[in-house]
Structure 1
Amino acid sequence: MKTRRFALGALLALACAGSALAGARAQSQTYPDKPIRLIVPFTPGGVTDNIGRVLAERMGRELGQSIIIDNRAGANGRIGTDAVAKAAPDGYTLLLGGIGALTIHPHMLKVPYDPVNDFVPISLVATNDVVIVVNPKLPVKTPAELVAYAKANGNKMQYGSSGIGAPTHLAAELFKTRVGSAMVHVPYKGDSAAVMDVVAGNVDLSFSTVSATLSLIQAGKLRAIAMTGLQRSQSLPDVPTLDETVLKGFNADTWVGLFAPARTPDPIIKRLYEATKAALADPEVRRKLIAGGNNIVGNDTAQFRAFLDAESKKWGEVIRAGNIKLDE
């Protein structure tokens, strides 16, 4: 009797699994048949939001459905990120996620989601260049001069960032470690405040995004010394990288990528990746993103996952070495 019940139970489980698989397959074949929600975990008007709006419009045309931006700001991106982690895995709720909530914050405090297992990485959309800017009165003009000056005057130098635990803060900490400098961190509430204090001469330098500094660099109010990524900025092509000059392998760009909730069917992930790839190949999309200080990437799921693993490892090591804590 027990054997018969077990057999019937197993058959029922197989039938349910088969039904679920068939349902997922059918859903994938008709996807998308309604508007898609793209959660941007920051306020409107910022770098991530601007990328999201350009991407959503072009991807929507590719998919034949509207992609609606849903700004879920708060906790430095963690509120919107958590909302996607808990969303239905049907391809109708996506995340335009970034470096902080997914590869930095989990090393600094307890987050309400698993940054690895709660998401499917679809594509790394773009990196946003980080540039080292100084007040033009500071006697450095090249990466080599900056390194020499930081070594000799580190304990007297102050650098600004957009806040404790921000990507720009960690980029500077990585620089300090590689150079062996004792520069003093002055945290601000956002890039703009930090940058304006460099202009005013209240701090010596700042690690900041190109989007926050480009107009001031072009106006001569800031001097761009080096890019912190592995490639030169498409917006500042004459500014060398630390990697190509004085610190081989140095890489500290910020980035944004497209994610879906875990267990989203593979055919849907593939469809979304194809739409992302097509959108990022569009000349007008590329023009708009590059004008915002972004470098376009558009890699696939496997490549993006490897990138995320490397980013998490790198920033975890920087955070532990600097004993950096986020009080939230």
Structure 2
Amino acid sequence: MPLLARRRFLALPLASIVLPPLARDSAAQAWPERTVRLVVPFPSGAGALDIMARLLVHHLAPTLGQPIIIDNRPGGGGIKGAELVIRSPADGHTILMGNLSLVVNPYLLTGLPYDPVADFMPVTLINLAPLVVVAHPSLPVNSVAELIAFAKAWPGQLNYGSGGIGSTPFLATELFRSMAEIDVTHVPYRGGAPALADLVGGRLSFMIESVSATLAMVKAGRLKALGVTADHRLPLMPEIPTVSETGLPDYEVVGWNGLFVPRETPSSIVDRLFRDLAKILRSPDVRQEMAALGAEPGGNAPREFAAFVRAEAERWGSLIQEKGFRPD
């Protein structure tokens, strides 16, 4: 789904997408009864997912009237955290902050302890997050077109890092590599942060990573930004063109984060959580905070988010199957 279509989709009037009112349901009236646990299946401080989770908790806890703790459960490309959630009571007190890895893992691995469709109920999209192509300052390129030309002139000589096979940056870069028809080497890391550290240190040539993770390094001159992966320029870096403008027409990728609960969670609790989140995501404060991270707020209803997740799984699952990717 193109980013423009995503933005139109997210801009639907709330009245047109909400679920039937269930306010009288006793489960919704009682929930939450105690501390809510938000499971982030990646390390603390590691990447856009954790950053967005902390922003969300700051605004959601007062609305719910109960504390929310962030429970970082890294491991297995998000599998450990996802498994923890589906093995928890389906009562709305354990929630998963998920991203693309949740839905592409079935294409990468066999014997998963969960089925992302059968075991999880999508609640809402929290945000969309375009990525940015960044390079080490020593690399003699200043645009996406020059990066592609350099890679073609020196096949196999450039390398890039990512948080591992199946991560959004990995898939974004592999799509870039496929469309540009270039030969570059992937170096997997246990998270995006150590990969970025090696890029800054000159041990990698380039990366495609989140704006929130790279912006400070770009502003400090430690990395140079070549292009953004959205279909439009970003207010945070308006001087940086899109990838499609400067070397790879029709290329467009966005990261995303969303909330999921166990499939058997009462629909009234899902509806209450969605309504509270949608209100928060429309607030000027949250929109401003997300914009400062290069993100766009979500807030679509569960059924629309489920359709979005299916579309993402089909898009990236096709690429994974075509290329035969497997975890290292």
State the TM bucket, normalised to the shorter chain: 0.7 to 0.9
Q: Is the 8 A contact 1:103 1:315 kept in 2?
A: no
User: Residue 59 of structure 1 corresponds to which residue in structure 2?
Assistant: 60
| 1:151 corresponds to | 152
Tell me the SS of whatever aligns to 1:310. helix
Can you list the C-alpha shifts for 1:111-158, whole angstroms capped at 9, x where unaligned?
Answer: 210011111111110133321111233332223333333333333322
Q: Which residue of 2 aligns with 1:30?
A: 30
2:143 and 2:246 in contact (8 A); partners too: no
- Residue aligning to 1:164: 165
Q: Is the 8 A contact 2:73 2:80 kept in 1?
A: yes
Structure 1 or 2: larger helix share? 1
CA offset digits 1:216-255 (Å, max 9, x no partner): 1101121101112334444323322224444344233322
Residue type at the aligned position of 1:126: N
Cα distance in 1 for residues equivalent to 2:167 and 2:206: 16
Alpha-carbon separation, structure 2, partners of 1:176 and 1:309: 24
AA aligned opposite 2:108: M
Q: Which amino acid letter does the alignment assign opposite residue 179 of structure 1?
A: A
- Give the ranges of 4+ consecutive aligned residues of structure 1 lying more than 4 Å apart after TM superposition: none
Question: How far is the alpha carbon of 1:277 from its aligned partner?
Answer: 1.2
SS in 2 for 1:220: coil
- The answer to whether residue 125 in structure 2 is matched with residue 124 in structure 1 is yes
Cα distance in 2 for partners of 1:321, 1:144 equals 25
**TM-superposed deviation, 1:317:** 1.9
What is the SS of the residue equivalent to 1:207? strand
C-alpha separation in 2, matches of 1:282 and 1:156: 47
TM-aligned CA deviation for residue 323 of structure 1:
1.9
Question: What is the match of residue 296 of structure 1?
Answer: 297
Work out whether residues 62 and 278 of structure 1, in 8 Å CA contact, stay in contact via their aligned partners in 2: no
Helix, strand or coil for the counterpart of 2:304?
helix
Q: Structure 2 CA distance, aligned partners of 1:161 and 1:72? A: 19
Secondary structure in 2 matching 1:170: helix
Distance 2:234 2:254 in 1: 10
Work out the CA distance in 2 between the residues paired with 1:309 and 1:287: 29
Question: What TM-score do the two structures reach when normalised by structure 1?
Answer: 0.83
Matched, 1:266 2:267: yes
Structure 1 unaligned regions, length at least 5 = 1-21
The runs of 5 or more residues in structure 2 that have no matched partner are: 1-21
> Contact (CA 8 Å) 2:128, 2:296: kept in 1 or not?
yes
For residue 90 of structure 2, what is the amino acid of its counterpart?
P
Rounded to whole Å, the distance in 1 between the matches of 2:60 and 2:85 is 19
In structure 1, C-alpha distance between the alignment counterparts of 2:200 and 2:151, rounded to whole Å = 19
Mapped pair 1:280 → 2:253: no
Q: Distance in 2 between matches of 1:88 and 1:190?
A: 29
2:120–2:262 contact (8 Å) kept in structure 1 = yes
SS of structure 2 residue aligned to 1:185? strand
* Structure 1 residues 264 and 155: CA distance shift in structure 2, 3 A: same
Q: Offset of 1:107 from its aligned partner?
A: 0.9
Query: Is residue 306 from structure 1 mapped to residue 307 from structure 2 by the alignment?
Result: yes
Q: Distance in 2 between matches of 1:275 and 1:261?
A: 18
For the pair 1:105 / 2:105, whether they are aligned, the reply is yes
- Contact in 2 for aligned 1:151/1:179 (Cα 8 Å): no
Query: Mean Cα displacement is larger for which, 39-48 or 274-283?
Result: 39-48
Question: What SS is found at the alignment partner of 1:122?
Answer: strand
| C-alpha distance in structure 2 between counterparts of 1:194 and 1:221, whole Å | 14
Given residue 306 of structure 2, which amino acid in structure 1 is its aligned partner?
R
Q: How far apart in 1 are the matches of 2:158 and 2:169?
A: 16
How many residues align? The count is: 304
Which residue number in structure 1 is paired with residue 97 of structure 2? 96
Contact 2:164/2:327 (8 A) holds in 1: no
Shift of 1:275: 0.8
Distance in 2 (alpha carbons) for counterparts of 1:149 and 1:305? 40
Question: 2:8 is matched with which residue?
Answer: none
Alpha-carbon distance in 2 for matches of 1:303, 1:246: 33
Equivalence map 1:222-261=2 (5 Å): 222-261=223-262
Once residues 259 and 188 of structure 2 are traced to their aligned partners in structure 1, the CA distance between those partners, rounded to angstroms, is 29
- Greater mean alpha carbon deviation, residues 160-169 or residues 229-238: 229-238
What is the TM-score normalised by the length of structure 2?
A: 0.83
User: Do 1:130 and 1:227's aligned partners in 2 also have CA atoms closer than 8 Å?
Assistant: yes
1 CA distance for matches of 2:162 and 2:50?
Answer: 20
CA contact (8 A) 2:77 2:166 kept: no
| 1:214-229 equivalence runs, <5 A | 214-229=215-230
Q: Quick check: 294-303 or 311-320, which moved more?
A: 294-303
Residue 41 of structure 2 aligns with an amino acid whose one-letter code is P
Q: 1:34 to 1:194 in 2, by over 3 A?
A: closer
Q: Which amino acid aligns with 2:32?
A: P
Distance in 1 (CA, whole Å) between partners of 2:232 and 2:270 is 29
1:60–1:197 CA distance, 2 compared to 1 (3 A): closer
The residue number in structure 2 matching 1:9 is none
Segment of structure 1 superposing worse, 190-199 or 299-308: 190-199
Partner of 2:87: 86
Q: Is the 8 A contact 1:38 1:70 kept in 2?
A: yes
Q: How much is the aligned-residue C-alpha RMSD, in angstroms?
A: 2.4
